Amino acid sequence: MRLTEYLRARKWSQLFGYFLFISVLAAGYYYNLTFVQLGLIDLGTRIVGLSRFQVSVGMSALALVAFLTAISVGTALDRYGWSRNFNAKLRILWGVIVLQFLLTLTAPYLRTETAFGAWIILCAVSLGTGMPTTFSLVIDLVPVEDRGWVAAAATACAYFLANVYPLQWRIESFSIVMSAAMAPAVVLLGVFAFRDVAFLDSLKRQHRDPDFGVGRFCRPTAVRTWSYEFWSFILLMFGVYFIDSLGFLRIIETPAYIYTSWQSPDFGIHLLIGGIHVLTAIMAGVLYSNFGRRWLFLLVFGLFGFTHLMYIFDIRAGVGEAPLLMPLFYSGAVSFYTVLNFALWPDMSTPDTIGRHSAIGVGFAGFLATFLSTAVVLYMESTTMPLVNHLNIVDALALLLFFLLLVMVYARRMVMLAHSREQKT
């Protein structure tokens, strides 16, 4: 681990680089998990007075605009060389945080559908700009060998905080928390972005070092954007996000499950779920550094398949209070794929492709999958589909992808063995 070398050598600038990246990534994800995904529902339905269907359509529009913005910004970062310019990335990120700070302050005062729609568009632009810019910072701040546990640390921080505070999913609570957290960040990032801070000078050149700039899976040959390898993992991650949203959007609308877990009045349950996120994020960080990507995707699909199977069995049994084991397994699966998502796209990139690859990875596999799954959930609800049938479909998708990936891994191994035998003969 490179971190221990920096600690022994007391290289404070490099250590600050770890802290800066984990903080920015965790804060950005926390904002997306709480204020955007959960706060928007409360803002639209309770404050503005829209129907749940109208809010869901708005959230789908947010995901689509964020996806298009991420692709545009990620491409621009690489084309104009901003991916290699540390100060340029900090300035873009500062603009994103200022915009999100203003959106956070004004959100509780929205009262009309038009204002709600305009707010969603601006929020989507800020998210789409912030994601590829944040991921591009990794080539300046985190060496390749430490990216697994750094991704685990960011995941653990974001999910633990999201589960323990705030407990009420109300836009006023989210607004207060996020405004208080963003105010010092706006000042500090503004200083780093627009003043010449000598403490950060060594970080600006680190992307030139192959140990920072060239991702783990780009050695010895860089992964091309339009290659089978890159798009196979894009589609796998798309499947993960699609399955997660398709199941979770329905589960959180079911009082028997949501009020015994993520919205429970018992603070101990929130601590337990947050602790499971931390534990599984650490496990995922260790596994990411030691196992192939396909095996980790197999684990994620397997976890989702098993978890939804437990929900289906519980619905069919229909007795007693919902077991806590189900949300715990669900949380573990989410932490696993989040660590994978944070580390995978930088490790499939170089300084020339980090903006574009992370934009496609996060935009297509994250935002667009969420947009499509939300639309599918709306369609299923319009047909008054029972919960058990809905989760049956989610479970079938997870198991289908699990077995398809298992066949791919087996076929790939057979091809490699065949090539090896040909070379020997």
- Mean of the per-residue pLDDT values of the chain: 89
Q: Which domain holds residue 240?
A: 2-423
Give the closest residue to 351 by CA, choosing from 242, 206, 163, 236. Answer: 206
Q: Helix, strand or coil for residue 267? A: helix
Confidence of residue 166 (pLDDT cuts 50, 70, 90): low
94/88 Cα distance (integer angstroms): 10
Q: How far is CA 326 from the centre of its chain?
A: 21
Question: What pLDDT score was predicted for residue 167?
Answer: 65
- Tell whether the model's pLDDT for residue 164 goes beyond 70: yes
- Tell whether the model's pLDDT for residue 319 goes beyond 70: no
Kindly report, residue by residue over 1-22, the tens digit of the pLDDT.
889 999 999 899 999 999 999 9
From 74-78, 231-235, 262-266, the region with the lowest mean pLDDT: 262-266
Confidence of residue 103 (pLDDT cuts 50, 70, 90): very high
Kindly report, residue by residue over 86-101, the tens digit of the pLDDT.
999 999 999 999 999 9
CATH number reported for the structural domain that contains residue 363 in this entry: 1.20.1250.20
Confidence of residue 412 (pLDDT cuts 50, 70, 90): confident
Which structure tokens are listed for 257? 């499950």
Please state the pTM of the whole predicted model.
Answer: 0.90
In percent, the amount of the chain with pLDDT more than 70 equals 99
Please count the helices (runs of H) and the strands (runs of E) in the chain.
18, 0
Helix axes 228-251, 325-347, angle to 10 degrees: 150
231/228 Cα distance (integer angstroms): 5
Question: What pLDDT score was predicted for residue 259?
Answer: 87
Count the domains in the chain: 1
224/290 Cα distance (integer angstroms): 24
The values of phi and psi at residue 262, to 5°, are: -70, -20
Q: Helix, strand or coil for residue 190? A: helix
372/367 Cα distance (integer angstroms): 9
Which structure tokens are listed for 16? 């600050």
Question: What pLDDT score was predicted for residue 119?
Answer: 94
Summarize the confidence of residues 344-356 as an average pLDDT.
Answer: 94
